Amino acid sequence: MSMAPVSFCALIPARLASTRLPNKPLADLGGKPMVVRVAEQALRSGAQRVVVAADDPTIVTACAAHGIEAVLTRTDHLSGSDRLAEACTLLGLDGDALVVNVQGDEPLIDPALVRACAELLAAHPECDVATAAHAIESPADFANPNVVKVVLDQQQRALYFSRAPIPWWRDGSQAGTPALPTPAIGAALRHIGLYAYRAGYLRRFPQLSPAPLEQLESLEQLRVLWHGGRIAVYTAGTAPAPGVDTPEDLARVRAFFPG
């Protein structure tokens, strides 16, 4: 007997202001704004509904021009999850509804990865959040604090996220230099910033007090663990396509969207 397909909504936070790339959501990619390209990828995941949560009317207008649903949220949100919490309320989503947070600057996001996070959360009713990771193959990435690492338990749930090289391979490391564990021992995993939530939990999340560990590491997902929540982690076979943070990133991604 085949399982019924998982029903979920993809929400895309989009903020007009960006220090490194002004008006980033509206950046042209082959004749369409970047946020529209992201929404089109999300639609390919099989999401029942894809909605852009915008902080500016120009984003809503641009989405409407391409048939993409969008809602206008407040401008004072501190994070994307705060913006999506408001969007869940504006859209009247049921507390048990599955929501995938797709970043608005990832026009090359793999639709299968979006779906995998939703399906993983549906399969783990004891978890509040689902996210993704992939194996780290470069010692430089393992040591890089900009590469966020995650360690899992035997149920593939997150034990901890860190900018530090974890797990620390005691017998392989020398002179304080971290050694990248081999897959046979237990692969080191890089966190992929894609999240699935239940709408009720996403609405509650902004009310949770920021965690000391979250502030130390500057990693918002540690707030979930600090308050006793559980995070299921899907391990992808390959690294995702990079997002767009700088003009150089934009130029590289434009090659995938010829006008």
Beta-carbon count within 10 A of 64 CB: 12
Report residue 160 as tokens.
């901890």
Q: Is the pLDDT of residue 129 over 90?
A: yes
- Dist CA 122 CA 124 (whole Å): 6
Average pLDDT of the residues in 218-244? 95
Whole-angstrom Cα distance, residue 153 to residue 137? 20
* Eight-class DSSP state of 3: P
Return phi, psi of residue 191, to 5°.
Answer: -75, 140
Averaged pLDDT, 142-149? 95
3.30.200.20, 3.40.50.2000, 3.60.15.10, 3.90.550.10: which CATH number matches 8-255? 3.90.550.10
Mean pLDDT across 44-72: 97
pLDDT tens digits, one per residue of 96-112: 999 999 999 999 999 99
Q: What is the DSSP string of 182-248?
A: PHHHH--EEEEEEEEEEHHHHHHGGGSPPPHHHHHHT-TTHHHHHTT--EEEEEESSPPPP---SHH
Domain residue spans in the chain?
A: 8-255
State residue 4's pLDDT score. 63
In this prediction, residue 2 has a pLDDT band, given cuts at 50, 70 and 90, of: very low
> Checking phi first, is residue 35 left (phi over 0); if not, alpha (psi -120 to 50) or beta?
alpha
Phi, psi dihedrals of residue 216, rounded to the nearest 5°:
-65, -45
Instruction: Indicate the pTM of the whole model.
Output: 0.93
